[in-house]
Structure 1
Amino acid sequence: MTITTLRFNQVTPGLDRREVSARYRATVEMAAFADSHGFDLVTLEEHHGADDGWSPSPLTTAAAVFGATERIGVIICALLTPLYEPLRLAEDVAVLDHLSGGRLTLVAGLGYRPEEYTALGKDWKQRGKLQDHVLETLLKAWTGEPFDYQGRTVRVTPPPLSRPHPGLMAGGSSRAAVRRAVRLGLPFFTAAYLPELVEYYDTLAAEAGLEGGFATLPPERTAMVLCTEDPDKAWAEYGHCFLHEARTYADWQTADISSAMASTATTPEQLRAEGIYACLTPDECLAIARAEGPMGTLLLHPLCGGLPVDAGWESLHLFADRVVPHLGD
């Protein structure tokens, strides 16, 4: 059956404090609605120092979501793990694993903005070594057993609920990231449609005798969906919101970065033609689900780029009423 996902990053152009607060509360309330209406996943993100407040604290947001839900999973895609103190991160994630009943998955990413490393006192040029250090420490810490850490013996308690550890994937778009994933015995999350990296992972995993490892492959074209009865009207009213996010991504990324969200659009009309952001009727959503089959995905972005909260709710209710009940037909 089609996987239904809600994406949130709490972007608030202008950073009006009341609006920021409203969007965080709406994130939790929408997640609770999704939990009770058959959605499968909530996805959260991490950036720092963004002019529009792009969420810097997805673990805190995930905790709020888990407190308001019972069954829906949360994937943080991506958590910028080199920016964290490893032992505290191990503790925080272990507690979240217990609070959620094992519903948390992390994609460990390096990020692509040097200024984020500078702001948090980390060396951008050492990001690969930092990533190795954090991931190796997490895997040792989550055993619940004592281990040597920087010349001292430490132990992280409580050990997480999930065994052998909370959901953890190494993310990236390079062969080096694939090698890291296989070396650590982790699944690999591709940041874009890069089938050659999936093949590379499978080859290395087989050579290493890694059992249970896998690499994900996102759709060749990812679409952020706003469900609406009138796509033309929605684009006219909210196209600037989608464009804000698309241009933010474009300004952050360099030529060597591969991303499912890569856009060259400078107008809402160009963005609509690219198909990365889509305003779709319920029937169009169902047509996509049927065409993609049981492994397909529908990704809703109900607060995209400053989209009014009321408009996000309208989209979410329409999708829940007219799409979700028919995904198994």
Structure 2
Amino acid sequence: MLTVLRFNFAVPGLDPAALSAAYAAGIEMARHADAHGIDLISLEEHHASGDGWSPAPLLNAAMILGATCRLRVIIQALLVPLYDPPRLAEELAVLDLASGGRLTIVAGLGYRPEEYAALCRDWKTRGRALDEALETLLAVWSGEPFEHEGRQVRLTPVPRRAPSALVWVGGGKPVSARRAARLGLPFCMPRNDPALAAYYTEQLTAHGTSGFVIMPPERTRLTFLADDPDRAWARLGHHFLHEARAYASWQQPGQTSAVRSHADTVDELRAEGVYEVLTPAECVERARAAGPMDTMVLHPLVGGLPPADGWQSLHLYTDKVLPALALTSG
């Protein structure tokens, strides 16, 4: 079973000491995860939020990769139109080389006009900007000179892996599927949509390229562990609710996501099931029932909760759940 640690480092109130503690805890939790068989760290990108929600995922990824030896990091999504493409190509190549090929980004457009406004980028041309940026990344990584803004350019170094291992294209619409297929890059979807996945496969054939699709299950759950879930919901539920409501408030009309909540209260959030608090025994039972192809997404710093509580959750997973699952598989 794939185990993922999700971090977005959102801290309501933006207290500098609390933010500092969250960033430090994320690095140490990643180090702990690396030593205990957890597979993947998931980061994301947002800007102009009221709680500091993940504005610098490449920096977070670099610190985590530098502190670990084995686990992989995925940024889903990196808002590529907000970056200078040649510089981004250089930084991604360096991270790929320095980490031994342990980073993947999902190149996304984002869905909040205020993020583009805050960083002085044009929201209306974001699709073209993403196309041009991805084409620039591929040109840089070819290792050959290419034309950029009327000049011949050659940048070094190039990544150790193929572009399709380093960059996936994100999106939930046909235009995103066509973009990924045209460039011969994998397609990563925000929700379970078999029809869109099939369309991507058709587009691969039409463009004569190869790739694969990454599609979440119909139900994605964000998991926190506690010996007493009732007490954890009573003490920490407002942290879960903060994140759920903030994320829901950003969604555009008609937009769907595998982790979107519609809850307005802690009780509604608990009943909904997107966020769950399990005992170690319940977590083991769910993992066994789901089988080895399932994914467990742990969220130990959700909504700015105190790192000490996040550590308790993570230790319950690594000290009780993983050993029990290892006995089962053995």
TM-score past 0.5 threshold: yes
SS in 2 for 1:278: strand
1:203 pairs with 2:229:
no
Aligned counterpart, 2:127: 128
Letter in 1 for 2:58: L
Q: Deviations over 1:136-164 (max 9, x none)?
A: 11111112221111111111211112235
| Equivalent residues of 2:40, 2:74 under 8 A apart | yes
Aligned counterpart, 2:287: 289
CA distance in 2, matches of 1:150, 1:232: 59
1:55 pairs with 2:45:
no
SS in 1 for 2:4: strand
Aligned counterpart, 1:69: 68
1:235 pairs with 2:233:
yes
Aligned CA distance change for structure 1 residues 153 and 166 (closer, same or farther; 3 Å): farther
In the TM superposition, what is the alpha-carbon distance from 1:202 to its structure 2 partner?
A: 1.7
1:326 pairs with 2:330:
no
SS in 1 for 2:74: strand
SS in 1 for 2:125: helix
Structure 2 unmatched runs, 5+:
none
In the TM superposition, what is the alpha-carbon distance from 1:305 to its structure 2 partner?
A: 0.3
Aligned counterpart, 2:45: 46
| Equivalent residues of 2:164, 2:186 under 8 A apart | no
Matches within 5 A, 1:1-329: 2-164=1-163, 166-211=165-210, 213-328=211-326, 329=328
SS in 1 for 2:130: helix
In the TM superposition, what is the alpha-carbon distance from 1:165 to its structure 2 partner?
A: 6.1
CA distance in 2, matches of 1:234, 1:248: 21
Letter in 1 for 2:176: A
Q: How many residues align?
A: 327
| Equivalent residues of 1:142, 1:165 under 8 A apart | no
Structure 1 unmatched runs, 5+:
none
CA distance in 2, matches of 1:252, 1:44: 18
CA distance in 2, matches of 1:45, 1:250: 16
Stretch of structure 1 that moved more, 163-172 or 27-36: 163-172
Regions of 4+ moved over 4 Å? none
CA distance in 2, matches of 1:194, 1:29: 36
CA distance in 2, matches of 1:139, 1:286: 43
Q: TM-score, normalised by structure 1?
A: 0.97
SS in 1 for 2:169: strand
CA distance in 2, matches of 1:294, 1:9: 26
CA distance in 2, matches of 1:155, 1:26: 39
CA distance in 2, matches of 1:266, 1:110: 28
CA distance in 1, matches of 2:273, 2:219: 8
In the TM superposition, what is the alpha-carbon distance from 1:166 to its structure 2 partner?
A: 4.9
Q: Deviations over 1:264-308 (max 9, x none)?
A: 100011011111100011122222222222210000000000111
| Equivalent residues of 2:189, 2:215 under 8 A apart | yes
CA distance in 2, matches of 1:269, 1:281: 18
CA distance in 2, matches of 1:90, 1:281: 43
CA distance in 2, matches of 1:204, 1:327: 40
In the TM superposition, what is the alpha-carbon distance from 1:326 to its structure 2 partner?
A: 3.0
| Equivalent residues of 1:7, 1:302 under 8 A apart | yes
**Aligned alpha-carbon RMSD (Å):** 1.1
